[in-house]
Amino acid sequence: MEGLVIPFGIFREHMGQNMPGQELSYWDYLNKMFKEAEEMRKQGILEEEVENYQLRELETLRKAIKEMPLKDGFLNQLKEKFKSVLGKDLGAIPVFLRSDTNMEDLKDFTGAGLNLTLFNVLDDEKILNGIKEVWASPYTERSFKWRQRYLLNPENVFPSILVIPSVDVEYSGVLITKGINSGNEDDLTIAFSRGAGGAVDGQSAESYTIFNKGGYRLLAPAREPKYNTLPQTGGTGKKMATFENRVVKEKNISAIRNLAKDIRETLPKETDPDYKGAYDVELGFQNDKLWLFRDKTFC
């Protein structure tokens, strides 16, 4: 699947602009807050009061980022890439805005699901506003508290955005190139639910171990009563699931095996040849065609 990446540096460049109502930039405002919080701790102020101060300042910053002007150069480049890469004008094709940050997939902290991902956004203004909403999402209370717990430098979070066309898949989920239950590094683990965005947010997904030497084992059946659809008009819909048939078909398991083989051979060459761990892959099926949405290291 073709897609666009809005890298960390674009966010950082925009954070260098002057913040409305302040005599400093968005980035300086953020770092000033962390310095003042540290001074409060040195003065013996209770941690609860320090945290409340930080959350109030982050709320102000988050609201300001959502109203942040996007630079002309970035807007022009985004429109050009929509046309050349995705094949349609900005606002003429529904897309996912998928969040990622430099503070994810670390040894003791994955950060998965902490920041905003927007489904099936179509209108051009909604896409542009959605970019700013994703940029602001690392500064929510939930995301901030998780980073504070695990990271020594939670102020240095840089969000990037993966922009990919929406596909109204029949079922979707995740592939881990490791046998989590079997303990075998050569096996595969998959979890799928009907519709888009499957096997996330605690869904009761259909899960399997796929054995390297052949065959597979059902770990859990699907039990999710509703699933997401992605209309061409944008937004999401809901449908009721039925359970008379399995979610993942035999031919799909074969396709997943082939994909895993390609990933294990290709990604180390293209990224980090010393990486020996598993990969975390998001994918889906529409008319038995496999769609790859994202893959990353699994920690």
Tell me the per-residue pLDDT of 29-88, one tens digit each, with 9 for 90 and over: 999 999 999 999 999 999 999 999 999 999 999 999 999 999 999 999 999 999 999 999
Q: Give the class (CATH, top level) of 171-298.
A: alpha beta
**What CATH code is assigned to 4-165?**
3.30.1490.20
What integer pLDDT is reported at residue 201 of this predicted model?
62
* Under 8 Å between Cβ of 176 and 278: yes
Tell me the per-residue pLDDT of 125-184, one tens digit each, with 9 for 90 and over: 999 999 999 999 989 888 887 766 655 566 678 899 999 999 999 999 999 999 999 989
What integer pLDDT is reported at residue 199 of this predicted model?
83
Averaged pLDDT for residues 88-108: 79
| DSSP letter assigned to residue 103 | T
H or E segment and range at residue 240: strand 237-240
| 59: helix, strand or coil | helix
171-298 shares the fold of 4-165: no
What integer pLDDT is reported at residue 111 of this predicted model?
46
Q: How is the chain split into domains, by residue range?
A: 4-165, 171-298
H or E segment and range at residue 206: strand 206-210
Which amino acid is it at 237? G
Burial (CB count <10 Å: 0-12, 13-18, 19+), residue 8: middle
What integer pLDDT is reported at residue 153 of this predicted model?
61
Tell me the per-residue pLDDT of 224-251, one tens digit each, with 9 for 90 and over: 999 999 998 999 999 999 999 999 999 9
